[in-house]
Structures are given as structure tokens and as C-alpha cells.
Amino acid sequence: GQSLEQPSEVTAVEGAIVQINCTYQTSGFYGLSWYQQHDGGAPTFLSYNALDGLEETGRFSSFLSRSDSYGYLLLQELQMKDSASYFCAVLNRDDKIIFGKGTRLHILP
């Protein structure tokens, strides 16, 4: 089977930096994606890592360590609009994306 673990909730202060971790177990791993979903909205693609290392896209960065089956999403200069749920998602050789349970990010002013 396959499983993904990420914290259920994280709280941070506006302007700060926050890291959301994800560990996974899966067969035929291709890569790790991150999606953002606001309440009542659709999931929005943020990033994809297939190789070890850090990918940066503006205020958001994503990291992958294939040997550790671990990744994280780093959000910098937090803004109130970043309050949302963040899902890590594994792409496997069956060409399926399986989502983790999601991390609810609360941002305090």
C-alpha cells in the first residue's frame, strides 16, 4: 500500500517562515507534489519534485529527499491569504496522484 504523513495543523505568524513536512511510503515513486486548497475552493498546484533537492518558486520552496522518503514545503514571508490547507501528493508509476491528509495552516496577524 501507500501512505503519506503530514501534520494536521500548523500555526504561524504573518511575515514569518513555516515548514510543512511530509513523509511517504509508496511503491513505484515518481515524485512529490504540493497543492494548496482554500476553504470552498479547488486544489491548486504549487510544486513538483522528482529529484532530490530544493525547488524554489517565489515565496514557496519544496524539498525532496528520496532516500529518506521525505519532503517539505517552505512558505516564506507569510501572508494572511496563505491560510489554507496544504496537501502533499505522491505521483507513482501507475500515473496516479495520491493525496496526503492535508495540513491546515493558520496564520496569526
Partner 1 sequence: DTEVTQTPKHLVMGMTNKKSLKCEQHMGHRAMYWYKQKAKKPPELMFVYSYEKLSINESVPSRFSPECPNSSLLNLHLHALQPEDSALYLCASSQTGTGKTGYTFGSGTRLTVV
Q: What is the binding site for partner 1 (CB under 8 A)?
A: 30-31, 33, 35, 41-46, 48, 50, 87, 89, 91, 94-102
Q: How far is the CB of 42 from partner 1 (least distance, A)?
A: 4
Considering the complex, state which of residue 35 and residue 72 has its C-beta at the smaller distance from partner 1. Answer: 35
Cell of 97: 496522484
Q: How far is the CB of 15 from partner 1 (least distance, A)?
A: 27
Q: How far is the CB of 85 from partner 1 (least distance, A)?
A: 8
Q: Which amino acid, 29?
A: F
Considering the complex, state which of residue 33 and residue 61 has its C-beta at the smaller distance from partner 1. Answer: 33
Considering the complex, state which of residue 101 and residue 106 has its C-beta at the smaller distance from partner 1. Answer: 101
Q: How far is the CB of 18 from partner 1 (least distance, A)?
A: 20
Q: Would you list the DSSP string of the chain? A: --EEE--SEEEEETTS-EEEEEEEE-SSEEEEEEEEE-TTS--EEEEEE-SSEEEEETTEEEEEETTTTEEEEEE-S--GGG-EEEEEEEEETTS-EEE---EEEEEE-
